[in-house]
Amino acid sequence: MRTIEIGNGEIRSSEIALGCMRIADMSVKDVSKLINTALEEGINFFDHADIYGGGRSEEVFGMALKEVKEREKIFIQTKCGIRDGYYDFSKDHILEAVEGSLRRLKTDYIDVLLLHRPDALVDPEEVAEAFSILHSSGKVRNFGVSNHNPMQIELLSQYLNQRIIINQLQLSITNTGMIDAGLNVNMQIDKSIDRDGSVLDYCRISGITIQAWSPFQYGFFDGVFLDNPKFKTLNDEIDKVAKNYDVPKSAIPIAWILRHPAKIQPVIGTTNPKHLREICQASNVNLTRKEWYDLYKAAGNKLP
């Protein structure tokens, strides 16, 4: 597994991360097997959120983590800020949420804490206070956001003493909004509309690593596009490229993301060790520029 620098080198980790949203109903034994498979494949970055499984995902991961003897060799990321029916970036909630995550994960520190979704009532000074307390206490080492646009990050950064090093955003071959607008500049079509403030270019300029969530999903959790008859053209192209590289087809959508020079880190959410090993073969695939564009077009995109 190749590695990448996250942020401006604050962390060097595997270029693929394992998302732990779906492990809540798994046994500790099975989660331990999943973690060990990830480590064997070179994945050392694990993504959580306090709301996944109502906290159970963190809890079962924490119990399975006992099998990992060298905690300092893995990176644990979690997110906070989503509550039951509203968002909350208040100082008190951030501090309380981190204490809960530390307890469930059975660890003394979190490598990266992300603010999960933008809070319309955010007070950046409160966020700054919370981050400073967490950082100075050693409970959180790095900070980031999820689903934030450039101006929201700029607002926070104006008050923070710590850098935002990650922005987690939805990206897959079928969900390419942040790429579409940059290709269709000065066009009077829907694809030319910049809906996110040029977040892709902004993050590259700012040294913020984009993490791609739901890299196999289309729409907003509408389903997966692999082997989906709705995406026959795309699947035919994926099959062709997979055969060219002699890898499972599940490796190609991840290789497509990894090919982008922004050094985006895909967050894969499989709970199946066999599928995990297959997907990890993406790290050995270096798509050509033509193959990248052919896959992009096969998903229904047209070049101007």
**Residue 227 pLDDT:** 96
**pLDDT tier at 8, thresholds 50, 70, 90:** confident
Question: pLDDT tens, 232-277?
Answer: 999 999 999 999 999 999 999 999 999 999 999 999 999 999 999 9
Rounded distance between C-alpha atoms, residue 123 and residue 127, angstroms: 7
CA quadruple 155, 158, 161, 163: dihedral positive or negative? positive
Question: pLDDT tens, 83-118?
Answer: 999 999 999 999 999 999 999 999 999 999 999 999
Rounded distance between C-alpha atoms, residue 163 and residue 208, angstroms: 9
- Complete domains list, the chain, with CATH: 3-230+262-269 (3.20.20.100)
**Residue 66 pLDDT:** 83
Rounded distance between C-alpha atoms, residue 198 and residue 194, angstroms: 7
Residue 127 tokens, joined = 């966020």
Which of 137, 7, 28, 150 is CA-nearest to residue 77?
A: 7
Rounded distance between C-alpha atoms, residue 238 and residue 29, angstroms: 34
Q: In angstroms, how far is CA 25 from the centroid of its own chain? A: 21
Question: pLDDT tens, 44-86?
Answer: 999 999 999 999 999 999 999 887 777 888 999 999 999 999 9
Which of 74, 15, 41 is CA-nearest to residue 211?
A: 15
pTM of the full structure: 0.96
Q: Report how far apart, in Å, the C-alpha atoms of 119 and of each of 1, 91, 145, 163 are.
A: 36, 13, 11, 19
Q: Is 52 among the residues known to form the active site? A: yes
Q: Write the DSSP string, 182-246.
A: HHSTT-SSGGG--SSSSHHHHHHHHT-EEEEE-TTEETTTTEE-TT-GGGHHHHHHHHHHHHHHT
Per the CB < 8 A criterion, the answer to whether 67 and 26 are in contact is: no
Rounded distance between C-alpha atoms, residue 220 and residue 170, angstroms: 9
**Of the residues 52, 202, 218, 296, which is catalytic?**
52
Q: How many CB atoms lie within 10 A of CB 85?
A: 5
Question: pLDDT tens, 137-168?
Answer: 999 999 999 999 999 999 999 999 999 999 99
